[in-house]
Amino acid sequence: MQVTDTGFPLGMLEAIRRNPEQYRLLQQIPLTVPGVLKKLPLILMEKQEQEKTYQCVFMHAHATSFELRKNPKLLELALVKATYSKDRNVILSIDEIFDNYEDPHEELSLECQKTTGLSDDLLSGQQFDEDKLSMLLTNKPLIIAHGAARLRPLFDGRFAFWSDLAWACSERGIAWELFGCQGRELDYLNLMHGFFYQPQRAYDYCLAALWLMHVEPEAFMQLLERARQSSYRINAVSTPFAYKDRLKELGYRYEKVREPCWYTTVYTKEDCDKELKKLMDLGLGAYLKVTEITARTRFR
């Protein structure tokens, strides 16, 4: 079988022609092909006359850890700024890319080096360009991250001045099962849409998330709509241990990092009222705490 340097089996082309339904072809995400982004902005779709446009920023980062109890530090921060149509809920262009390293002033663990691809030598003396970052965030664009709940606490901790930005999560803010996807990992979602990427820098993950929103505009529309809506976090605090299994059955998750509690999130006032009634019927009314959450407070 003839195989190219990239591992593509050219010798199987005839078999593919005979039974195309048994094969799937993957394409590298065009935005991650070397040289494609040398000149910005890159137009993905033409703007229509009198169309309202806004900007958003796709963000990704590498850190010493994403466990808050370990006092993690950001090592690499990447932002990809894009313009989108509010009328059509589609991405129009990629406008700017930011990717910087920062020295944590501590030795990286072997696990951290393996998962991030970074080294002490690479990071030594490096510092985030806060002036450039401030210029990029001046208009307070919507921040989109694949895993916003992991990233936002670290970003806000490092850049307190920007802690009031609106955030959306492309991992949890979209009902991916409605798009035929049973998982939420970024590489899996792209594979399910016929694309792959080979990340070299943190901004490659931003581009992968952006491309996913470009090829699945209905998912992007859902993400924007979810970001605009208030959600309601219901905490069951200091509940008796006997209720643990019942709360699990109801879909509650246990939070132990901040305020230890069982919690769930719903996205309408009606669903919130229904959830509270279920818990009060169980006799947990005295343990409940409800917080209304907007894009500016979500994922903190």
The pLDDT profile of the chain, 300 residues, written as one tens digit per residue, is 444 556 678 889 999 999 999 998 899 999 999 999 999 999 999 999 999 999 999 999 999 999 888 899 999 999 999 999 999 999 999 999 999 999 999 999 999 999 999 999 999 999 999 999 999 999 999 999 999 999 999 999 999 999 999 999 999 999 999 999 999 999 999 999 999 999 999 999 999 999 999 999 999 999 999 999 999 999 999 999 999 999 999 999 998 877 889 999 898 999 999 999 999 999 999 999 999 999 999 998
Strand partners, 234: 264, 290
**Is 154 part of a structural domain of the chain?**
yes
Give the residue ranges of DSSP H helices in 87-228.
110-116, 120-123, 130-137, 148-158, 186-192, 202-215, 217-228
CATH code assigned at 259? 3.30.70
Q: Looking at the 3D structure of the chain, how many domains does it have?
A: 2
Is the same domain home to 145 and 216? yes
- Containing domain of residue 128, as a range? 27-228
- Output the six-digit token pair for 141: 């664009």
Residue at a domain's end among 195, 228, 261:
228
**Is 4 part of a structural domain of the chain?**
no
Helix (H) or strand (E) holding 97: strand 90-101
Of 262, 259, 290, which Cα lies nearest the Cα of 276?
290
Residue at a domain's end among 196, 228, 260:
228
**Is 87 part of a structural domain of the chain?**
yes
What pTM was estimated for this model as a whole?
0.88
Is the same domain home to 213 and 248? no
- Contact between 293 and 272 under an 8 Å Cβ cutoff? The reply is no
Helix (H) or strand (E) holding 19: none
